[in-house]
Chains A and B, each alone.
Chain A
Amino acid sequence: MQLARHVLAFCAVIGTLAAATPLLAADAPKAAPTKVNLAADPNAKDLILKGDAKCTGCHDEADEPTGAGTMLELNPGVLAIGKTKHGVKADKRTPTCTDCHGDSEKHRTHKGSDKPPKVDRSFRSHTPTSAEQRDAACMSCHKGGNRMNWPGSQHANGDVSCNACHKVHSKKDLVRDKYAQAEVCYTCHKDQRVEMRKPSHHPVNEGKVVCSACHNLHGSTGPKLLIKNTLNETCYSCHMEKRGPFLWEHPPAADNCANCHVPHGSNNTALLKTRQPYLCEQCHDYTNHPGNVYSGSGLPPNGAAQQMVLRACANCHTQVHGSNHPSGPRFTR
């Protein structure tokens, strides 16, 4: 019966959708009375941007897919810029084709059946246009704010130009989609792809956290392109409960979260670098249990060392990020 209710519920939703279809369809674009052949029309009108007719006169709806897409987006199409913010002519800041690609006179005025010369500023793969020149096109508008530190940043110095990650002529810029962004980053950052598949990881592949939640890929004031000035400050953006200040500080935690944790993925629970108790014993060696050797004799059926199994050291020392309990100097309270 429950299943039947589920099916009915599903049908109801689909039915509602179907019933709404005419309503939606009523707002659908009306077909133009005749097809416009812009390429053949020397008086072609602008399609999307002010002055774009000099380009869209050829790059029109009959244009073949560019083939320049990545594995993630095969057919961006030149005209797809109309689907994006760069296609909003009413925004006075919006550039036109030649603002980004250059005047490209030789390209535009080429006659004959052979392949025309490249545009002045090309963003395709194997382009002769340098990364710096390509970035300049973007930076002419997109400067300041989060991009203030772009010049001299790791990506800029590594010739990772804006269009290496962003697809301007695409209805969907994958690097701005939280389900797809990581795949764009993995194009170069292969290590992170492996790490994000480890049992303990931040939910990047699941689309709940994006790389850019922690990193400012356009340059930052902190290390590793982090969005904040320091690693801990970045981590505290989501993990404020570990910020303190605490009455009893645990120095490695207050110093740098990465002393014990890795950010992307780990085989150990809670993104720990190394399994407990060995991680803790890298700093703690004393006459009692911190100095003991823990081996297979502490595991069932040979035994069950309380400092080794289950949560290991954290079976007792649970507040390792700091304690604010007056009886918590050993992080047990």
Chain B
Amino acid sequence: MKTRLNRHPVRKILAVSISAIGLMAAAPNLMAQTDGPSEEVLNLIRPDSEISFGVLDVSKSSYKFGDYTGMHKKGAHLNGDVRVNMRGEGNANYLEIDATNLGLDSRNFKIKGGEQGNYGLSLEYDEISKLWYDSYQTPYVNPGSTRLDLPAGWVASATTPGMTQLTGNMKSFNIETQRKSVAFGLTKLLGGDWDVAVDFKHETKQGNRLLGAVFGNSGGNPRAAVLPEPVDYVTRQFNLSARYTTDKLQFQAGYSASLFDNKKPFLQFQNAYTTIAGWTAGTGFPAYGQIGLPPDNQAHQLSASLGYQLSKATRLAGTFSYSRLTQNDSFLPYTSNPVLVITNPMPRSSLEGKVNNTHLDMKLTSKLSSDWNLVAAYRYDDKANKTPQSLYDYIGGDSTNQNVVANSDRWRTNLPGSSTKQLIEVEAIYRLSAHTKLKFGGEYEWAKKTFEAVSNEKEHTLKAEVHHHFSDTTAGGLSYAWSDRQTSDYLFAAPFAASFAPAYVAAQSWDNNPFQKKFFMAPRTRDKIHAFVNFEPMEKVDVHLGFDFKDDNYTKSYYGLQDARGYGANVDVNIAATDALTAHVYAAADRYTNFERSNRLAAGCGGGKANPTAPGCDWTANLSDHNYLTGLGLRYRPGEKYEIGADYTYSKSIGKTDMWAAAGTTGLLPLPENTNTLNRIDLFGRYALQKNLSLNVKYIYERFQATDWALEGLTPASMANVIGTNQVAPNYSVHALGVSLSYQFK
């Protein structure tokens, strides 16, 4: 077995351990002792610290297993955790160090110190690895760069089967991103009930994720490849707040800034295809195309919050905030291909995008009597998009000269949508008896939007809930909520008419089926039910049963999403057999189904723009996800000498897609199920070798099997117009064994 040792973390672990030891040596005042309580008492009242170092060996490399955990590389890894908690004797000084997974890519290190009740400082370093795919392959020779080239000798073709150099040039490239952040915080108590807090976080995110890179225009003649998009982001967040706190009045004012900087604003990629019909000469291989990546942007916010005790029983709280979001990155050109003719220049060189968000909320809570509580709230969210509108004559996927005719679908005006959303909410809580509590509530939410098919929405919600203690050991609850969302007339062509050139709009009338309503602004009724029972069938045994149901019904949508429904049920059992032995078992299942209906709008089935509801073109999709989760855990700790524990987790998900189409539809075949099955065992133990020295062992076995019809059976040339990636669904069995020594001290 080949083992690999990550040297970099070793240095970090040693540095941290030396630092921790140094801190202890350099802080005698924190460790000073005085005569007083016994050692036994001191052990009970003094904070504990612990340093652990050891080795973690992983049996197999797997991105899915190591996703976020950093355990993706086969081999042995030095690892360590540090937890130092020191407090001053006779003063309020403190020093805390909390470091985990120092040898893995998921490492975290945090140090806090200060004087409790006066000031506090904190510094944190964190890494998060998102491991997307370890089976991705591409023919491009320099994945990860911002200009992707095809290999020498590339044979371009109009479709992938003609690319004779494709399969032999497919090379693996791992798709992953890593976040690294440093955060600093300061809190300071000032006199007169005031305190201030400042924090700053600097984060980088680097690596790659996948994107579809296309030449040609969607809906016509696209040719694409799935490529690594370089990710090189820097984000900075800054928060400053001042707080005033008394028994009666609490006030907080703050300023926040968040700045996003993308160091790689575009991706250029060579066209793997020859020039095809509809493209301008010179756009096929070896020409390059260019995709814009996320632009730099900023957000600044001023906020003020207030809480005021109007009387002993009544309180008012509220927040006002005003935010400004801006984005003014220089535009990329319509095309990066110099052979293409640009007749109409861009109307502006950058967007000058600006959005002003205003938020106001108020909440009144009152204890009307010993039995009645009332909560009334109002919320206002306004998004005022001040981005200027302009007319752009765009080029479809770096493939054609600019189309300058008046009725071209290439003339587009941007639609900077604004919205105003408001909500009134009232909830009454009535204590019917010492054992029974009732809740009744209602909400009214209304919204205005621009550049949408719907300009106004309003939604009513009614809620009721009961909690009852049947006995000292049994309690249960049931809640139900019903909502009804109504909208103004659904002007299906409004955004189309606002964005396209008038001549094109006049010729086309609409670009989306008039009988389809987009679900996020369609009329809808919603039912939600939640029920639970907690009981103790015997001493030291807790049982929880729960059930949830949610149904979104889009009754007025002839096409589009018709219904989205979810069920969930669960049972939990916790057993404390003795003070030393505990166990827990849980099982849960949920199911989410959504049903949609659509129309092919094809002439062959009697449909088309003139007849968008032709029954012969109808089809439906019924998609359901079924999930099952079971867990079992044991903990045994007979004393200070040792403890052991075990967890078993089983998870299975099944994704089903059932299609139906009107009689006469050709080629309708069933889809296989997508499945994910996880079996995982965690074993761990701790044995005290000496009073302050413990041996820790942990073992993980994880088996994961997945099937995904979006990946299975695909070769690089399976899709005529998209270069494949040879990706496969994850399927692995991994063992991980960790052994470490822990030193405890006070």
Contact = CB atoms under 8 A, between A and B. Distances in A.
B365 A241 contact: no
Contact of A16 (B14, B106, B226, B307): B14
A229 interface: yes
Interface string A292-333: 111111011110111011111011111100011111111011
A138 interface: no
A34 B39 CA distance: 9
B520 A252 contact: yes
B452 to A, nearest CB: 6
Given A9-B10, A47-B41, A293-B619, A245 B327 contact: yes
Contact of B325 (A243, A325, A327): A243
B667 A295 contact: yes
B299 A285 contact: no
A23 interface: yes
B76 interface: yes
A152 B47 CA distance: 35
Nearest to A308: B710
A43 to B, nearest CB: 14
B46 interface: yes
Interface string B115-158: 01100000000101000000000000000000000000000000
- Of listed A35, A240, A296, A314, residue having the most chain B CB within 10 A: A240
A285 B601 contact: yes
A254 interface: yes
Interface in A21-38: 21, 23-25, 27-36
A56 to B, nearest CB: 9
Given A91-B92, A293-B598, A324 B295 contact: yes
A194 B570 contact: yes
B213 interface: yes
Interface in B307-359: 307, 315, 317, 319, 321, 323, 325-327, 329, 331-335, 346, 351, 353-355, 357, 359
Contacts of B548: 191
A34 to B, nearest CB: 8
Contacts of A152: 315, 317, 363, 365, 375, 377, 427
Given A148-B250, A267-B627, A291-B598, A190 B54 contact: no
Given A92-B117, A304-B718, A318-B291, A28 B668 contact: no
A140 B309 CA distance: 13
Contacts of B294: 241-242, 324
Contact of A256 (B520, B653, B745): B520
B653 A199 contact: yes
Contacts of A36: 37-38, 41
A301 B152 CA distance: 31
A159 B475 CA distance: 13
A196 to B, nearest CB: 9
Given A259-B520, A291-B513, A83 B212 contact: no
A248 B415 CA distance: 7
Given A71-B582, A326-B392, A61 B3 contact: no
B657 A71 contact: no
Given A248-B414, A310-B727, A6 B5 contact: yes
Contacts of B252: 144-145, 148
B601 A314 contact: no
Contacts of B251: 144
Nearest to A332: B214
Interface stretch (A96-104, A106-114, A202-210): A202-210
Contact of A310 (B3, B385, B719): B719
A149 B720 CA distance: 57
Contacts of A115: none
B395 interface: yes
A17 B218 contact: no
A310 B711 contact: yes
A190 B570 contact: yes
Given A249-B417, A296-B672, A283 B741 contact: no
B19 to A, nearest CB: 12
Contacts of B721: 306
Interface string B75-94: 01010100001011011101
Interface string B711-737: 111100011111011010000000000
Contacts of B38: 31-32, 34-36, 61
Interface residues of A, number: 150
B334 A327 contact: yes
A157 B667 contact: no
B109 to A, nearest CB: 13
A75 interface: yes
A198 B354 CA distance: 37
Interface in B511-568: 511-513, 516, 518-521, 544, 546, 548, 559-561, 568
B116 A330 contact: no
A80 B21 contact: no
B560 A3 contact: no
A225 to B, nearest CB: 13
Contact of B117 (A91, A157, A312): A91
A143 interface: yes
Nearest to B362: A221
Nearest to B195: A145
A116 interface: no
Contact of A324 (B88, B329, B395): B329
A201 to B, nearest CB: 9
B13 A27 contact: no
A50 to B, nearest CB: 13
B416 interface: yes
A281 interface: yes
Interface in A1-21: 2-3, 5-6, 9-10, 13-14, 16-17, 20-21
Contacts of A5: 5
Interface string A263-275: 0001110000111
A82 B46 contact: yes
A21 B743 contact: yes
Nearest to A266: B625
Contacts of B395: 327
Given A93-B117, A278-B621, A296 B670 contact: yes
Contacts of A77: 44
B41 A9 contact: no
Contacts of B572: 190
A190 B31 CA distance: 43
B116 A88 contact: yes
B63 to A, nearest CB: 12
B488 interface: no
B522 to A, nearest CB: 10
B489 interface: no
B321 A229 contact: yes
A300 to B, nearest CB: 3
Nearest to B77: A6
Interface in B418-473: 419, 427, 429, 437, 439, 449, 451-452, 467, 472
Given A6-B3, A13-B53, A314-B211, 20 more contacts: A10-B78, A21-B692, A24-B745, A27-B31, A34-B38, A36-B41, A88-B87, A90-B92, A197-B651, A229-B357, A244-B295, A245-B354, A247-B392, A267-B676, A275-B623, A291-B600, A291-B602, A295-B659, A297-B667, A325-B292
15 contacts: A2-B5, A13-B53, A25-B745, A32-B36, A32-B39, A61-B44, A88-B92, A171-B48, A203-B67, A252-B518, A288-B219, A299-B712, A300-B713, A310-B711, A329-B414
Interface of A: 2-3, 5-6, 9-10, 13-14, 16-17, 20-21, 23-25, 27-36, 45, 47-48, 60-61, 65, 67, 71, 74-75, 77, 79-85, 87-88, 90-94, 126, 140, 143-145, 148-149, 151-152, 157, 159, 171, 179, 190-191, 193-195, 197-199, 203, 206-209, 221, 229-230, 233, 236-237, 240-249, 251-252, 254-256, 259, 266-268, 273-275, 278, 281-297, 299-302, 304-306, 308-312, 314-319, 323-330, 332-333
- A-B pairs with lowest CB-CB distance, top 10: A82-B45, A300-B713, A296-B669, A325-B292, A144-B250, A91-B117, A152-B365, A241-B294, A245-B353, A144-B245
